[in-house]
Amino acid sequence: MIQRPRLALIAHDEKKNDLVAFAEAHAAYLTGCDLVATGTTGQRILDACPGLTLRRMKSGPLGGDQQIGALIAEGKVDALIFFVDPLTPMPHDVDVKALMRLAIVYDIPMALNLATAEVLLRDHENG
């Protein structure tokens, strides 16, 4: 039996629109995935893509990044799509760095921008 891809979706405030547009463009594929997202990002995706099902964690600054990091450490995330805004200061920057470190340590693909996310999904779609 083939396991459904397990993807984590996160976006900084200034990148949420981009991630929502990405989810809309790939909704057909994403319906076949187990999705987890931080709170606000997850709600925005659900509002734009009513056919998707995803598990919403807390907002990133309230611990959502750490919750997703725990899922990565438990082997429950296959890939991370995290649209980062490098031009806006982040009060929870240490949480973001910890999340990225876990993705590296556990060797899961991590897309930090639209171009890389497109490649990541293309690879997943083509097996």
Decide the pairing of beta strands 79-83 and 110-111.
parallel
CATH class, domain 6-125, is alpha beta
Average pLDDT, rounded, for the chain? 92
Q: Let me know if 99 is exposed, middle or buried by CB neighbors in 10 A (0-12, 13-18, 19+).
A: buried
pLDDT score of 65 more than 70:
yes
Tell whether the model's pLDDT for residue 91 goes beyond 80.
Answer: no
Whether 85 sits among the annotated catalytic residues: the reply is no
pLDDT tens digits along 4-49:
999 999 999 899 999 999 999 999 999 999 999 999 999 999 999 9
Which of 13, 18, 47, 65 is flagged as catalytic? 65
Task: Give pTM, 2 decimals.
Answer: 0.93
Q: With cut-offs at 50, 70 and 90, classify the pLDDT of residue 127.
A: low
Contact 20, 93 (CB under 8 A): no
